[in-house]
Structure 1
């Protein structure tokens, strides 16, 4: 295949569904995502999509500062601390997605050249596209239900507290929603609606980040698994051809390089996601143990905490599968019979031994199945405090 020919299946085409959702909510501003071909992807430094993402970033960081101002002036308040963490983390996610969008067309063009080789040799991972849509539908619909529940509870409270429609809207947007901002600027319905729209974008982004990490991890896990199975097939069939082993070694090496490149760009997402998820786990457990709730508030807790735990475990589990899959090559290669060994197998073993592949949080930790258990004592300590 030529360098500009694409196979019928590739990562961008499989992720197109969730990339469209990202742009609906104002982040990941890449032009051409509706096309199936990565060579149609473009990024423009000055565009409406980029300006929208920057606008949401600025609003989020200003909202964080408004919450911090109240914390400084009035002392600790869990509501405003949550607001500061929520706004800061999601505004930062928007900024990180903006940076990733600038590199995305180049990443995908680089990846599709490798996928042309992989598709010809291993085909496409079984049920990958279906599972991508399944994961995305479950987590994003769950987030939608959770967001509607919390906003619905606020609207019900606002209706019970105020009489006229205009006063209900003002109470919902100003008093219950964005009091910290409207202590600094004059209230208007338009400003309140804009802040509520930004809040909705942040709610989607909060879940989307974990979903995105999970799906990219799933892709690399599936690809490494295909290559490992091919290694086992070569070994079981007693193939001694150096060319066959060179091809599979080069496939593995190139996939490792692409995975390392993705890790470099996603590690900031991972680090921020893990720490904010831990914070909200602590907060949710503390609230349910120490604060009385109405029935509707308890339902919201179940939805919110269940979503938080599910997506965190999902991200750690699939990231852990990638971690384990890349380490399964060494035992498979090391057990190759001596009479089959050649220079390509020796090189393959040395490359696998010297490389550590997996998604990390800025190299502070590697995503694996035990990560959530490692932070369990940390969570229990703060809940008891």
Structure 2
């Protein structure tokens, strides 16, 4: 009886479901059919210039470079760029506080998102084809229910709230203009377009009624795309989640009916792998949209919270603020919930599989569980963060922290008593919310360097570092055919003296900053200078430690490189590292040159004609020295040179971490490529791959132990100066 029952279950599950699945059902729930209305809406507003949207399959989709839709889209982008340039010209002489740059970010966001949708339109046909192949493979699954209804409701809710929010802003501004002009409609429209909405444009070009209407339409387009980028991420996430839900339902059914047939479990596992590859494709196409979505929403939430500290007397203005803020919260929360649905559904599948009865457990179930545990399926923002529901709490915590910084730095700028009370109360509430295996190698072993090597790829950066007094090594220019004994560190050497001069000069500057603050009082800008020198001094000390260990580090790398000599050559790593070094140093030189020019300009405005201009420059650039010491040209030259060395160390620290990361990543990429290219492999191959992966993992842990302090100094430095720059931007 048991065998007969199993045969019947097998036959039932191998054939289509009892409920007849018509072609209409399949077509109704495809990505092509589900996204038809949203894409048509985008095309109405000048985005996503693609033909064949109303066709039955991906074969009807076509992107044409010569089409009216593309012309419409390009002209819109040109209009956004024109508006952005004129606003920048206006902003350069009229910026007063951080709220004045909100419109600037709005213009930038619109241009970027319009170009991203244009780029996606060129790839949409191939993307839908990938999706279509998965839909065909899963045609015998229970079809998703109410998918088009879910998409319609999402569109109506999001765009409805956005329409109300934008309509209230426009109506409020028009009513104010009408009152200001005492009922004269022509004058009111002139006031609305020329003086209140597009003043940056009509200062440069003469006012025309049709020009104002055209600019107003551009604003409507920008507002639409600003809201739609979140809707787009939500809709794609929803369409993908329902496919995962089909796997969950099928796996649950197999588990409950205790089907033991390996072939059935193999089919469902392979369908899941197809979805996993589709998820990777979604990340490839949508990662930038996700990044832009989160970045813009977080920025505008911070801006809205900051602007809420200003007292609002008008009831209409208060209602608009709450609707606008609600829209922002709804958008970022929806992206987290719907985007996180992919991760949640994957966890549900894992829960079903790990709970199957013992009689059902087989090799395919085991492989399925292993795949779930080792291969991540989640939407990401260019791999900087993963979209899960927990991300909401992380964003909330970050917003509270950033808002506290903004309030603290601007508390003294709030002029009236009401605003100060609002800020203090907000700070009190926010604070309350916030409260709620290693490689062992003898150091003198002669090991010949293999090519291409880590040493060769990073050599250019090391030579440059030694020019500026860090990493005091000898033999860094040796060719790869020589031995590692040629690379050595000497405590008694000219390079070591140069490095000690660099350390002493940098730390001395930090000490002088402390003395100046002790004598003349605390100033936040002086704190930034002190942190700059002290952190770079500590980094320079750690570079001496690294130099002493460098030959051992190279031996660790060489052991891995010899073990992986049969892998493909990592010939591009050296080129990438040199290019990265040149770019970093180039922008570092530009930044330091602009700093010097700024100091020269400040010195030129000084009215003290009794001092030499050079002395004035050094007095303005290095007040921590020359308010405590008497000026002389030799001391000034030493101070300037020491500052230049510290600036190089500041830039080199981030660069060094990046170069190490690129080299380690390449080793893992070599292993991945070897696995992809190998066919008909045996157990010995997988043993070798596993051992090599273990060696690279051990090397990664070893490098982490060597550079952990530098990584910590880098993050502290960068986060601190980001805060200082934000503070200076709102002065």
Task: State TM-score, norm by structure 2.
Answer: 0.50
1:244 aligned to which of 256, 259, 264: 264
Deviations 1:286-328 (A, max 9, x none): 2223232411111211221111111211111111221111133
Equivalence for 1:161: 180
**Greater Cα radius of gyration, structure 1 or 2:** 2
Equivalence for 1:25: 45
Correspondence 1:212 to 2:244: no
Equivalence for 1:138: 157
Correspondence 1:266 to 2:286: yes
Deviation for aligned residue 1:86: 0.9
Equivalence for 1:44: 64
1:93 aligned to which of 113, 120, 140: 113
Deviation for aligned residue 1:338: 4.3
Structure 1 residues 210 and 242, CA gap change in structure 2 (3 angstroms): same
Counterpart CA distance in 2 for 1:251 and 1:360 is: 22
2:329 aligned to which of 288, 309, 312: 309
| Structure with greater contact order relative to length (CA < 8 Å, sep ≥ 6) | 1
Counterpart CA distance in 2 for 1:341 and 1:100 is: 43
Deviation for aligned residue 1:43: 0.9
Equivalence for 1:295: 315
Aligned length: 380
Counterpart CA distance in 2 for 1:320 and 1:109 is: 24
Counterpart CA distance in 2 for 1:180 and 1:332 is: 60
Correspondence 1:53 to 2:81: no
1:8 aligned to which of 21, 27, 41: 27
Counterpart CA distance in 2 for 1:70 and 1:375 is: 33
Q: Superposed, which structure 2 residues align to 1:1-385 within 5 Å?
A: 7-9=26-28, 10-78=30-98, 80-123=100-143, 125-162=144-181, 164-384=184-404, 385=407
Deviations 1:143-191 (A, max 9, x none): 1111111111111111112253332222111211111222333332222
Unpaired segments ≥5 residues, structure 1:
none
Structure 1 residues 67 and 37, CA gap change in structure 2 (3 angstroms): same
Task: State TM-score, norm by structure 1.
Answer: 0.93
Deviation for aligned residue 1:249: 0.9
Structure 1 residues 182 and 78, CA gap change in structure 2 (3 angstroms): farther
Counterpart CA distance in 2 for 1:321 and 1:94 is: 27
Deviation for aligned residue 1:14: 1.4
Q: Do the aligned partners of 1:159 and 1:168 also contact (CA within 8 Å) in 2?
A: yes
Q: Do the aligned partners of 2:50 and 2:63 also contact (CA within 8 Å) in 1?
A: yes
Counterpart CA distance in 1 for 2:310 and 2:396 is: 19
Deviation for aligned residue 1:201: 0.8
Deviation for aligned residue 1:362: 1.0
Deviations 1:327-347 (A, max 9, x none): 333333233344433332232
Deviation for aligned residue 1:108: 1.4
Q: Do the aligned partners of 2:99 and 2:307 also contact (CA within 8 Å) in 1?
A: no
Deviation for aligned residue 1:85: 0.8
Counterpart CA distance in 2 for 1:320 and 1:243 is: 31
Deviations 1:132-151 (A, max 9, x none): 11111111111111111111
Counterpart CA distance in 2 for 1:141 and 1:35 is: 28
Counterpart CA distance in 2 for 1:364 and 1:66 is: 33
Q: Do the aligned partners of 1:213 and 1:266 also contact (CA within 8 Å) in 2?
A: yes
Counterpart CA distance in 2 for 1:234 and 1:126 is: 20
Counterpart CA distance in 2 for 1:16 and 1:220 is: 16
Q: Do the aligned partners of 1:173 and 1:192 also contact (CA within 8 Å) in 2?
A: yes
